[in-house]
Structure 1
């Protein structure tokens, strides 16, 4: 079933894309048994027009001048990486560190909560449900090789109230190079092409070498530290999702994002719902998911609270194969990277 989450109306599902010109895992990849190296944190300062911006006001001024409403509408959904159900080298590179199930961050409502629009089913039937759009999910914008693209992402309720989760391919091409994406911006609850909560700009990227150096899909996740906007912190304004690790690979999940290939337009939130399953060694999948390019980086959410409009991020959308949506499994490896990112100011 397809459902759309709009500001004033709703009616279809979504799923997103992945990074630009994304190569499959490299043939000269790290040797078998190199999971320690692959799990090493990879970090970079974000840039605007190729220059590191450490000042929030300057980032907002330069970024806002670049991302005009016309440029945002013209941005293309980032291409999804190529993948499969079984991936060579996964077991050797990421055998998994699955500890006790934990909720390492809890959902939080915005500082000044407001009732949101109702998402209604595009179809009919007894299985149709209503889902509220989340202020804790938004559209991501970035520039790569002179072209403008977009993905999806979600806020995380971290101690500094400034964190966004997304796919690794939405911050770096995964080619082993030193160039991370430029002009990285986040529009929470982007609806009908409008920024309901402003446009926020990245300060720092945190991912893993398994993605940045090798493009391994089982490491396709990242966290992005955001600048304040007009003195406010992102999660204080929009609220934030929780974060879970080591949960069951078979549970009910809600996927939220901004798919942009027909029948979707990428201008509002769409969702897909169902029971996820284990995929390979350290991935999960939602079968028969209609979401497509543009939704990549959007969250797999467990324990969704439709009144609060938040849940717990349990994975992020990475790629599609045979009609199924895949994402990296969130275990203690992901928790380690989150612990690096969560206190960055």
Structure 2
């Protein structure tokens, strides 16, 4: 029997005011004298214990030694950046390149039909439509300034079968510095503290200067190339989400992630769903979304197939403001970054 996600009715929970997190104070003000540079790709090799992750076996040995079950359970949900509904300078910095609607990657089921099979969690609501947990969504772990955190991410069905989408603030603090997060690992369909499909380790980060150098929330996305595990590639084991660009800013979406603040514990997937709306120049939002810290980087999914357990990533969870969940709009600017990342070995 497939595990059913704990249901969260959109708009039924009141959340505490979110704290200011890693985004620098200058967020929302366009960079003087440097128009257009925000769209430039930003890349870095991943590290484990501060050392570049050069090969899969070394990464697995060092990464598994670091991420003990106790350390993973003790990791804190990464703070979401502080944001507002409308940013000064957003339209100037990212006016948008909205081309033809495209599905640039299509969902793929795992090669093994056993992926994602588990029992329904205790406390799942009755009398509501059940949503199956996706093996193509997982919990992200990383270290920053000697503290361990977690976010969320989604597996993307790319040509190399090795890509994860997440938020920019789940790979880099967005402060203009050269230090990316350490010990970056991904546990697909992490369930009740168990790694159902193993722990996978990052090889390379691909984001954009608008996030890395300036901390702009309209650029808060990233792709992460993952090492193989035991000779197997991530998408072949778990399956992968599709990826859409230039779609309507008003469409039905399912948000999946690992919220870690009360009433959640970050140990299983939860979802919210509804019709997203346009926000600012190049962002979208889901109103009255109860998901919170730890869900960062989890996908906004369009055309969700509840039997396949995959859809098309159309944005990623970035921050909360006034009870709404915001994410960057996926247009041709995002497609350019995906095209840089998709063929990395």
Pairwise CA distance, 1:9: 5.3
Aligned to 1:72: 72
Residues 28, 299 of structure 1: CA spacing in aligned structure 2 closer, same or farther, 3 A cutoff?
closer
Please give the residue correspondences for 1:1-345 in structure 2 after superposition, counting only pairs within 5 Å.
Answer: 8=3, 10-13=5-8, 21-24=21-24, 26=26, 30-31=30-31, 34-114=34-114, 116-117=117-118, 122-123=124-125, 128-345=128-345
The verdict on how the C-alpha distance between 1:245 and 1:103 changes in structure 2, with shifts beyond 3 A counting, is same
1:25 deviates by 5.0
Kept after mapping to 2: 8 A contact 1:156/1:235: yes
Name structure 2 gaps, 5 residues minimum: 11-17
Taking structure 1 as reference, are residues 46 and 14 closer, same or farther at Cα in structure 2, changes over 3 Å only?
farther
C-alpha separation in 1, matches of 2:56 and 2:20: 27
Secondary structure at 1:132 match in 2: coil
Give the conservation status (yes or no) of the 8 Å contact 2:4–2:132. no
> Is the Cα contact below 8 Å between 1:21 and 1:173 reproduced in 2?
no
Q: How far apart in 2 are the matches of 1:283 and 1:242?
A: 20
Post-superposition Cα deviations, 1:156-196, rounded to whole Å, max 9, x if no partner, equal 00000000000000000000000000000000000000000
1:3: which partner in 2? none
Give 1:124 deviation, angstroms. Answer: 5.2
Q: CA deviation at 1:116?
A: 3.4
Figure out how many residues of one structure are paired with residues of the other and give that number.
Answer: 336
Contact kept? 2:63, 2:201, Cα under 8 Å: yes
User: Which residue number in structure 1 is paired with residue 14 of structure 2?
Assistant: none
> Could you say if the C-alpha distance between residues 98 and 28 of structure 1 is closer, same or farther in structure 2, counting changes exceeding 3 Å?
closer
DSSP-derived class of the 1:131 partner: coil
Per the alignment, in what secondary structure is the counterpart of residue 307 of structure 1?
coil
Task: Give the superposition deviation at 1:12.
Answer: 3.1
The answer to whether the 8 A contact 2:27-2:215 is kept is: no
Query: Could you tell me how far apart the structure 2 residues matched to 1:134 and 1:57 are?
Result: 27
Gaps of 5+ in 1: 1-5
CA distance in structure 1 between the partners assigned to 2:41 and 2:286 by the alignment? 27
Distance 1:14 1:160, change over 3 A: farther
TM superposition shift of 1:24: 4.0
- Normalising by structure 2, report the TM-score: 0.93
CA distance in 2, matches of 1:322, 1:213: 26
After the TM superposition, list the runs of 4 or more consecutive aligned residues in structure 1 that deviate by more than 4 angstroms.
Answer: 6-9, 18-21, 27-30, 32-35, 117-125
Deviations 1:95-126 (A, max 9, x none): 0000000000000000112363576995455x
The 1-side partners of 2:304 and 2:25 are apart by 33
Indicate the RMSD between aligned Cα atoms, in angstroms.
2.2
> Is the CA contact (8 Å cut-off) linking 1:162 and 1:233 kept in structure 2?
yes
